Amino acid sequence: MRISITDIKQKKSKSEKIVVVTAYDYSTAKICDTSGIEMILVGDSAGMVMLGYDSTIPVTVDEMLVFCKGVVNGSKNSLIVADMPFGSYQSDLSLAFSNAIKFIKLGCSAIKVEGGRGVVPLVKHLTQNGIPVMGHIGLKPQTSPLWEGYKVQGKSCNTAVDLFLDALELEKAGAFSIVLEMVTSEIAEKISQGVSIPTIGIGSGNKCDGQVLVLHDLLGLYDVIKPKFAKRYAESYSLFSTAITNYISDVKSGGFPDPQHSFSMSKEELQNFENYLSSLKAGKKGDGEK
């Protein structure tokens, strides 16, 4: 049975840290799930990580549904949260509800939307209609680049107050959890203390109730992109690159596949086939003589 929203909320009261990973497909979701990851976020960062977009803005609902389906199929225990992509929830409550339902029917446990007090009516509407919602404040990848780029949030008293009020209002609206992205560690701690729902930090210090990292970041699958907040637990890019280079070399030299990685027929059946080929050659020769 999957971890429930209630299970996640209770972890805060027990002072138990929540571990979240952002993943996008069946294979990696299965690894995360069997490893004990409690929550998998199918982020719209899939547009950049999996499709090569320059930002998350072009990502569509249909694209997100494909990624979510893979993650749902690859997991049995983790709670699955689907990122609502840019444009799928901002303009109309009915449209937002319709899009959110698609993810829930697919097998996701909840959806995530970016924004503070501005999305409170949306959060209320969705939660009142039975859809669990995770909030997201601080750096908002869908819109922050349009205004100021990727900058740390909460560095001044005024911006800290805004973030704090955003968190309080999201909780009142019914959000079960809030992602704090690139928020100063001091303010992330104050927000975590000020709300009764779990906070999930990314680049926001270790006083949040949980942490989330993109799987590709923690596995070191990028050779250039290395966010300051992302600890690399492996250097998979170089590992994969070396493996592929060795594969190329083996194929070029004829070393792969070797007998260990090939299939054989019995000597008797091989002899029967060679006899068959010989009979064909004999038949062609006879036709030529006629």
Per-residue pLDDT tens digits for 200-249: 999 999 999 999 999 999 999 987 767 788 899 999 999 999 999 999 99
The residue type at 204 = S
Contact by Cβ (8 Å): 199, 209 = yes
At 146 the pLDDT is 81
Integer-rounded Cα radius of gyration of the chain:
26
Lookup result for tokens 């719209």: 44
For residue 290, name the pLDDT band (cuts at 50, 70, 90): low
Among this protein's residues, is 169 annotated catalytic? no
Task: State how far the Cα of 18 lies from the Cα of 1, in Å rounded to an integer.
Answer: 18
At 262 the pLDDT is 95
The residue type at 92 = D
Q: Catalytic one among 181, 186, 235, 274?
A: 181
At 199 the pLDDT is 98
Indicate if the pLDDT at residue 23 is higher than 90.
yes
Per-residue pLDDT tens digits for 70-113: 999 999 999 999 999 999 999 999 999 999 999 999 999 999 99
Per-residue pLDDT tens digits for 121-155: 999 999 999 999 999 999 999 998 787 778 999 99
* Burial annotation 91-112 (CB, 10 A radius, 16+ → b, else e): eeeeebeebbebbbebebbbbb
